[in-house]
Amino acid sequence: MVNRRHIRVKVMQSIYAMHQSGSDNLEKEEKFLFYSIDNIQDLYLIMLSSLIEICKTETVFLHKSSLKHLATPEERNPNEKFIKNEIFQILSENNSLSIALENRKINNWSLNDDYILLLLSDIKASKIYADYMSNTVNKFEEDRQFIVDLFMEVIVPNEKLYEYLEDDKLTWVDDIPLVNTHIIKQLKTIKSGENDNFRVPKLYKDNEDKDFVKDLFRKTVLNEKELAKEYLDKTPNWDSDRIAEIDTIILKMAICEFLKFPSIPVKVTLNEYLEVAKEYSTPKSSIFINGILDNLVKELEKSKRIIKAGRGLM
């Protein structure tokens, strides 16, 4: 689930937090870095389980409404298309998801069911819901598209839900788009009657990615002074204290990859950090960083200080 770019972002944020707090406790900060990445799994489970809880809540509501003393004909015989949506059933009966929810002790919605009620209210007020409920027939393709649209257009944009997640864990702010994008991709690929084929994704693609977190963090932090020397004379029109701190961290991390990660191609490093700069720094930062790194790469290659080898270069 966590890709290399997101790993770079998390490492960058951890180094920035160290600078802001004045901390020099490498082990403590590294532990928090891994903790913040590990929590992405919880965010994924919370967002996905919201669909299950929405269905459960509506099922209970329809049942209670049918038992009212003065229930209307519609309440006694409701349109159950929504609660019989096959995607809801697949998710609620999926072993991989159930085990993950239990192992990670995800019970957010039982403790905060008011958010589920808010989401359900927004769902029922949406055109997506009205169009879907215009008949009583469940067809799988329509069921799946409805859940995808519901998640993308009603659940994800909900400001109250976003505020709740932000208040729960501040580190989730930048993880939410990553998690939601992954969930949407998964929802789109679910097939009818295949609840056991749905799998909760691994947090890291492989052990190399997990090692990359530790190596990038440690090698950048432990060599900050040396890495800074590589670019300081490349900024003649800038005093070092005038360069945005995020920019200096991005530069150090990129240079660290050039010099200390032989299996990562130079072009990959350049592209990744320019994208990070566009998203997390000032509007002109990517141009500034690109200029410095481009000149630095030429110099390092000329002096044969960049040595790249490995499967990524074949």
**pLDDT of the residue at 241:** 54
**pLDDT of the residue at 137:** 95
* 196 belongs to a structural domain: no
Question: Which helix (H) or strand (E) covers residue 3, if one does?
Answer: none
Quick one: 183 and 211 in the same domain?
no
Quick one: 178 and 225 in the same domain?
no
Which residues are registered as beta bridge partners of 204? 2
Domain containing 158 equals 4-189
How many Å apart are CA 98 and CA 186, to the nearest integer? 16
Q: Which two tokens stand for residue 267?
A: 């072009």
Q: List, for the chain, all residue ranges whose pLDDT scores fall below the cut of 70.
A: 235-242, 310-314
- Residue 65 vs residues 60, 72, 110, 114, 123: alpha-carbon distances, Å: 9, 9, 21, 19, 18
Quick one: 171 and 224 in the same domain?
no
How many domains is the chain built from?
A: 2
Quick one: 66 and 126 in the same domain?
yes
Quick one: 167 and 227 in the same domain?
no
* 93 belongs to a structural domain: yes
Q: Are 281 and 247 in contact (CB under 8 A)?
A: yes
* 202 belongs to a structural domain: no
- Residue 5 vs residues 142, 144, 152, 178, 290: alpha-carbon distances, Å: 34, 30, 23, 11, 17
* 116 belongs to a structural domain: yes
Of the residues 133, 159, 189, the one at which a domain ends: 189
- Rounded to the nearest 10°, the torsion over CA 174, 175, 176, 180 is 140
* 310 belongs to a structural domain: no
**pLDDT of the residue at 237:** 59
**pLDDT of the residue at 314:** 38
Quick one: 129 and 226 in the same domain?
no
